[in-house]
Amino acid sequence: MSIKTTFSTQVRHTVPPEVSSFSRSFRSLVAGLGAAFLFVSAPALAATAPNLGTSATYGILGSTYTNTAAGTTINGDVGYVTGPAVVPTVNGTTHINDGPYATAGGNQGTALVNLNSQSCTSLGVGAVALDSINLGAGPGVFPPGCYSSGGAMTITLSTTVTLSGAGVYIFRSGGAITTGANSRVVVSGGACESDVFWTAIGATTLGANAAASATPTFVGTIIDDAGIALGHFANVTGRALAFGGTVSTDANTITVPTCTPFVTPVPPGGQATSSKVFFPTTIAAGGVSRLTITLSNNNVGVATVAAGGFNDNLPSGMVIAPTPNVTTSCGGLPTATAGTSTVSLPAGTTIPGGAPGTCALAVDVTAAASGSYLNQLPVLHTNFTDANLPAGVSLIVSALAPATAIPTLSEWAMIMLVTLLAMVGLVAVRRTGKV
């Protein structure tokens, strides 16, 4: 029986008017909490950076470029057919419908085809707010990977989305991309602005900021021929590439990234290999981390896991979480039982071919005691040449729970129910004078 049903059948006739407004707020809160944060347990599929070619030097590339206010600075090249009435400061070369401009447009198109062809983890069949997505490290924190949505991607006003860890990030929207005013997209943990890519079916609009910022408010390369509009004072370390479309600026700073792009490890020719990450990399004792194992196949043909299967034996003290949430994009049925220490793929599991082709196996794990847990993968045996044993990766378990831990939905509901019942009791005491 749900909390709402229990409340309506047992308390409805005894709740005094003084707390009726609170009870309505309580029911709304409990109903809303379910939609407050979206937990996604699928593995983030490995992403690779497209080759931008000559478009890599452009901060702005569009058929039409409009600039509505003084103060815009582009640290990089600019290319267009129709230019702005208010000329920005350009610390690079301006190309007006010339040969290099056309070549850059072609290179942008090739990069877009690459981005649209990569396999992505779906964040939802409709519109999604990126700041509400929780992949294990808290709402709005993403590890490297390719992420898609069936509808628009948004970032709520005054919130922050964090891209954490070295690797490639692709955000592919089935609608528009819109960020709220004073929101931010930032990098941490070795992530590089050169490795972040955004693309959408609809237009991309970055929200305005209340004041000019000396640090980026948005990072990554936007490739969107439907149009790109930067709100007042938006500061972008990345690129606005809309060859054939319109780019609009308004007292913005756009800086082409200078950090060294991530190089995706590729197994030697003819081999298949594995790698793994924990996310988050540090948890409290009894907390949960998402373990994602990526299988890579540097062969044209599909690799098949050999007899005995692929078995990752977790280090002593680490076990599969009570709710395993095991998923895979490989061609095999995974095994992961809560409380045990092994996650497996059976013999015959397939790994797509490519340079390399990849698939992922993911499961939630936990550890009751603090310490550093080194997990080393076994050799991946397939119908192709075996690769060398990969290096291990560690999960750090802290003895103290994080101060910023967020109560679960059930915990919030219990807290609010106890509070409500206490208030009902206090009102009864006030009315009757009896405890």
Domains along the chain with CATH numbers: 3-36+406-432 (no CATH), 53-255 (no CATH), 265-398 (2.60.40.680)
Q: Are 119 and 60 in contact (CB under 8 A)?
A: no
Q: Does residue 391 or residue 406 have the better pLDDT?
A: 391
User: For 336-362, what is each residue's pLDDT tens digit?
Assistant: 999 999 999 999 999 998 767 888 888
Q: Take residue 240 and report the two structure tokens written for it.
A: 């606005």
pLDDT tops 80 at residue 320: yes
The residue with tokens 């078995």 is: 311
Average pLDDT over residues 426-430: 47
Looking at per-residue pLDDT, the higher value among 304 and 300 belongs to: 304
Instruction: Compute the mean pLDDT over every residue in the chain, rounded to the nearest whole number.
Output: 84
- Which 3 state secondary structure label does DSSP give 117? helix
Spatial CA neighbour of 278 closest among 291, 267, 268: 291
Name which of 210, 245, 215 is nearest 231 in CA terms: 210
In sequence order, the 6+-apart residues with CB closer than 8 A to the CB of 161 are 130, 131, 140, 141, 142, 155, 183, 184, 185, 186
Burial state string for 313-344 with b = 16 or more CB within 10 A and e = fewer than 16: ebbeebbbbeebbbbbbbbbebbbeeeeeebb
Quick check: 200 and 226 in contact, CB under 8 A?
yes
Residue 111 has pLDDT above 70, yes or no: yes
Report whether 309 contacts 333 (CB < 8 A): no
Q: What is the CA radius of gyration of the chain?
A: 26
pLDDT value, residue 29: 42
Question: By the 8 A CB rule, do 169 and 145 touch?
Answer: yes
- Comparing 318 with 277, the larger pLDDT belongs to 318
Mean pLDDT to the nearest integer, 83-90: 96
| pLDDT for residue 266 | 67
Of the candidates 119, 177, 48, 83, the one whose C-alpha atom is nearest the C-alpha of residue 331 is 119
The confidence score (pLDDT) of residue 421 equals 54
pLDDT in tens, 18-48: 444 444 443 444 334 444 556 555 556 668 8
Residue 66 contacts residue 87 (beta carbons within 8 Å): no
Q: Are 123 and 38 in contact (CB under 8 A)?
A: yes
Confidence of residue 189 (pLDDT cuts 50, 70, 90): confident
pLDDT reading at 91 higher than 50 = yes
Mean pLDDT of the 243-266 span:
90
Residue 79 has pLDDT above 90, yes or no: yes
What lies within 8 Å, CB to CB, of 145 at 6+ separation is 43, 44, 45, 46, 47, 120, 121, 167, 168, 169, 170
pLDDT tens, residue by residue, 414-426: 556 555 555 555 4
User: 377 versus 238: which is more confidently predicted?
Assistant: 238
How does residue 171 score in pLDDT terms, banded at 50, 70 and 90? very high
What percent of the chain has pLDDT above 70?
Answer: 79
Q: In 10 A of CB 19, how many CB atoms?
A: 17
Tell me how far the alpha carbon of residue 349 is from its chain's centroid: 27
Instruction: Give the amino acid at 198.
Output: W
C-alpha pair distances (Å), 337 with each of 115, 136, 352, 363: 35, 19, 26, 10
Task: Provide the pLDDT for residue 431.
Answer: 54
Residue 205: its H or E element: strand 204-206
* Contact partners, residue 430, CB within 8 Å, separation at least 6: none
Distances in Å between the Cα of 198 and the Cα atoms of 3, 121, 127, 202, 396 are 41, 14, 15, 12, 32
Whether the model pTM is above 0.85: no
